[in-house]
Amino acid sequence: MMEKKESAIIFKNVHKSFGPLHVLQGLDLDIPFGQITTILGPSGCGKSVTLKHVIGILQADSGLIEVVGHDMSSIRQKELINLRKRIGVLFQSSALFDSMTVKENVAFGLRMHTKMTEAEISERVHVCLDAVKLADTEERMPVELSGGMRKRAALARAIAMSPDFILYDEPTTGLDPNTSNVVGEYILKLQDELDITSVVVTHDMPLTRRISDKVALLFKGKAVAQGTLDDIESSGNEAYQWFVDGRLG
Amino acid sequence: MTRMFASLGAKLAVFFIQVFDMYRYLVQCIREVRHLYLYRHQVIEQFYAVGVGSLPLVCLISAFSGMAVAIQMAYQMEAYVPDYMVGSIVVRSVVLVLSPILIGLVLAGRVGAGIASELGTMKVSEQVDALTSMAVDPVGYLMLPRILAGLVMVPILIIFSSFISISAGFIMSVVKMHITVDDFIKGMKLDFMIYDIFVGLVKSTVYGGVLTFVGSYMGLQTVGGAQGVGQSATSAVVVSSALILILDYFLTLALLY
């Protein structure tokens, strides 16, 4: 595993509310460069909300969020756009554009942001789809794919622009154990091949054990445990034990 | 009593927040015009969807409404005015009022609700977030092409509609009401003014912009699941229909008096 220790993403005392619902309640979180950081936690604890702050879809009510040195509260629009181009996101629902074919989905970012020719785009799309073993689905519509295939197609789209970061929002939710394993394999494979920083939001413990360099456990909008999984397990952290036993929430 | 005022105040606050939010989207949309080249494919797609996609319905409704207007006019006027006046009244009422309002309302249902439900579905299935995460502005990519399509294609549809309504009214007058061709044409020419067409086009351009903007806005505001999408589509139709009727009054007042 990578040994880079600098923080790529920092959350300091971040608060976020939606009306009366106080989702993030002083979140402190460090996400190091070049590693897979897994954010664990029960449903509704603010995991996906945390990810959406990283790409600027949501803005914090208070506190500091820094993404590769950019303060997200004061980042300029142009810098935000450039930052987003460096981040690939795999959404919980895959979020493939349902009016486009798989090929058009993967090519989308390349067409919008690069000056690549159609031939170069086709080549890149083929490479990305091949990386997730979906090369033969280029002309299919998302609705014609199974849940696992959709996740992999969305993963191909996320890596098409050769991002420095990939954010995975519940990558294995709704998948059978075999497909979950396959998705886990791809996360590890991409991490090794692309030398990227990955953030995985999940409550899937087997996946967490397989892929994580660092783990953060969120509960009630706060990180109640952070470190390597071994450290957290050996520390006897009460919240972590409750989470593993299914009693946290 | 206090509770009633508090509730009223809260509703007013929500209303003004929503109006301000719509204004914000409109400004953002105008800003995105400078990136129009990036969205050219979506613009063409939406021109086709709004224009060609609505044409059969517009033709059907226009034909029947034109015939109904001719019958109504002939029935109401036969004792008081000469036959040729039917032609005059059909043309002016179709160009100034009937086609812009009727087609505006029909398109608020077909196009406005369609846009709201399409964008609403994209919103609840995270496709809008996916666009944002890929550094593509949803307002520019989704909203701007639809509004442009409304601004350009709705007036074209209303020109078609006026032509079909008048033709249908003409056929009905001649075949069924036994008004002569010469009389109908004489009436058409009698007080026809190019300015009437200008007024009809101004109205239809405004309605086209309103129904696509409201549909897009409601779609992008969708929360929840299928129920939220349904609510957005309903709101899009209700708000844009109300706005079309209210604006029709003000535009008629401003342009004809």
CA distance B218 to B238: 11
Q: Is the pLDDT of residue A1 over 50?
A: no
Which range of A44-53, A118-127, A240-249 scores highest in mean pLDDT? It is: A118-127
CA distance B117 to chain A (A): 14
CA distance A8 to chain B (A): 18
Rounded average pLDDT over A238-245:
82
- What pLDDT was estimated at residue B43? 95
Angle CA(A130)–CA(A134)–CA(A136) in degrees, nearest 5? 100
Which residues of chain A lie closer than 8 angstroms to B133, CB-CB? Answer: 55, 57, 84, 87, 89, 91
Q: Sign of the C-alpha dihedral, residues A43, A46, A47, A53?
A: positive
Rounded average pLDDT over A191-207:
88
Rounded average pLDDT over B193-204:
91
Chain A contact present for B135, CB below 8 A:
yes
B5 is written with which tokens?
Answer: 């005022």
- What pLDDT was estimated at residue B225? 87
Chain B contact present for A96, CB below 8 A:
yes
Compare all CA atoms of chain A with the CA of B38 and give the residue at the minimum distance.
Answer: A112
What string of DSSP letters covers B179-238?
--HHHHHHHHHHT--HHHHHHHHHHHHHHHHHHHHHHHHHHHT--SSHHHHHHHHHHHHH
CA distance A199 to A217: 13
Which residues of chain B lie closer than 8 angstroms to A108, CB-CB? Answer: 134, 136
Compare all CA atoms of chain A with the CA of B132 and give the residue at the minimum distance.
Answer: A57
CB neighbour list of residue B209: distance below 8 Å, 6 or more residues apart: B147, B150, B151
Strand partners, A225: A217
Give the β-pairing of A214-219 and A70-71. unpaired
More confident residue, B74 or B40: B40
Interface test with B, best of A86, A105, A112 (most B CBs within 10 A): A112
B48 is written with which tokens?
Answer: 């086709």
List A residues 183-242 in contact with B (Cβ-Cβ < 8 A).
none
B221 is written with which tokens?
Answer: 């505001």
Rounded average pLDDT over A57-83:
92
Closest alpha carbon to B149 in B109, B183, B107: B107
3-state secondary structure chain A: CCCCCCEEEEEEEEEEEECCEEEEEEEEEEEECCCEEEEECCCCCCHHHHHHHHCCCCCCCEEEEEECCEECCCCCHHHHHHHHHCEEEEECCECCCCCCCHHHHHHHHHHHHCCCCHHHHHHHHHHHHHHCCCHHHCCCCHHHCCHHHHHHHHHHHHHCCCCCEEEEECCCCCCCHHHHHHHHHHHHHHHHHHCCEEEEEECCHHHHHHHCCEEEEEECCEEEEEECHHHHHHHCCHHHHHHHCCCCC
Domain ranges of chain A: 96-162
- With a pLDDT cut of 90, the percent of chain B lying above it is 68
A108 is written with which tokens?
Answer: 């989308």
- What interface predicted TM-score (ipTM) does this complex get? 0.88
How far is CA A238 from each of CA A30, A205, A217, A243, B32, rounded to the nearest angstrom? 21, 16, 11, 9, 51
Closest alpha carbon to A131 in A192, A83, A176, A84: A192
- Lowest-pLDDT range, A63-67, A235-239, B183-187, B229-233? A235-239
A245 is written with which tokens?
Answer: 């036993």
CA distance B168 to B62: 8
CB neighbour list of residue A203: distance below 8 Å, 6 or more residues apart: A40, A41, A42, A43, A170
More confident residue, A107 or A174: A107
Q: Do A108 and B134 touch (CB under 8 A)?
A: yes
Question: Which pLDDT band holds residue A248 (cuts at 50, 70, 90)?
Answer: low
User: Are A26 and A13 contacting, i.e. CB atoms less than 8 angstroms apart?
Assistant: yes
Which residues of chain B lie closer than 8 angstroms to A81, CB-CB? Answer: 135
Residue-wise pLDDT for A33-42, tens only, equals 989 999 998 8
Q: Do A95 and B134 touch (CB under 8 A)?
A: no
Q: Is the pLDDT of residue B175 over 50?
A: yes
Q: Is A105 exposed, middle or buried (0-12, 13-18, 19+ CB in 10 A)?
A: buried
CA distance B71 to chain A (A): 45
Which residues of chain B lie closer than 8 angstroms to A113, CB-CB? Answer: 135
Residue-wise pLDDT for B65-121, tens only, equals 999 988 888 888 777 778 788 888 888 889 988 999 999 999 999 999 999 999 999
